[in-house]
Amino acid sequence: MKLTTWNINGIRARAHALLQRLVKTEPEILCVQELKADLTKIPETFKSLADYDVFWNPSTFKAGYSGVGLFVHRAISEQYGKPKFSIPNFDAENRLIQAEFGKFVILGIYAPRGEKPEHFAFKLNFFDTIRTYLQTLMNEGREVVLTGDINIAHKEIDLHPSQRDERNTGFRPEERAKIDALLEIGLKDVYREAHPNEEGHYSWWNYFPKGAREKNIGWRIDCTYASPALASKAMRAVIQKEEASSDHSPVSVEFRL
């Protein structure tokens, strides 16, 4: 099973690129972030795809802000049963989306950036709630995946040396501790497990400094965390840098199920 996460930075701006990605790479499950559109503004072509069931948590909190979507290939539904889509009741700002296949649960996330103090506090609480929720599922014997734009670079290896300032939002100690807490309950960072000591692997490049993508001055903040048994079945994890239409590149993980 190929699972891909991609912050598309606007579904209307990225409509053509997203359709191409579905055709060229054929992910069985695709989580997208930053729709920046409510249901009336999501292009009609995504509402009647031949091969995918699609579920939205669109931008209703604020126009042109946030929003997530989840694409599930019908071949997966035929194999594991039709997914049960939902928006967790602790969602805020249209940031979470979920699919369940029996004991297998995928939680898609667009984490807050947290630049302002009140939003930074919101971000920390957001991760605390997610940790408690996932731990409860795992205690029930569920296999879980948390995937999306995490908006935290966990370790120094996860961002360019020029960006390793602990005053930078996304790399502050309090945020990084929230990733430690996810790992403490048994979740595995699937991409880092596949590339344990390799530097220069980034999924997001800011628009400043100029030429950051070309110079690979980036951050790895688009991640997939999986429960141990599921993580052990990961065969491959790839950042698809060739897709450069957004400020984020898609990140794919292939599992042997």
List active site positions.
Answer: 110, 149
Task: Give the torsion sign (CA, 162, 164, 166, 170).
Answer: positive
Q: Residue 98 belongs to what H/E stretch?
A: strand 96-101
DSSP code per residue over 166-229? TTSTTS-HHHHHHHHHHHHTT-EEHHHHHSTT-----SB--S-STTTTTTT--B--EEEEE-HH
Question: Cβ distance 203 to 159 under 8 Å?
Answer: no
Distances (CA, A) of 100 to 76, 104, 106: 12, 6, 6
Phi, psi (degrees; rounded to nearest 5) at 74? -65, -20
Burial of 149 (0-12, 13-18, 19+ CB in 10 A): buried
How far apart CA 245 and CA 93 sit, in angstroms, is 25
Prior bond of 209 cis (ω within 30°): yes
Residues 6+ apart with CB under 8 A from 19: 45
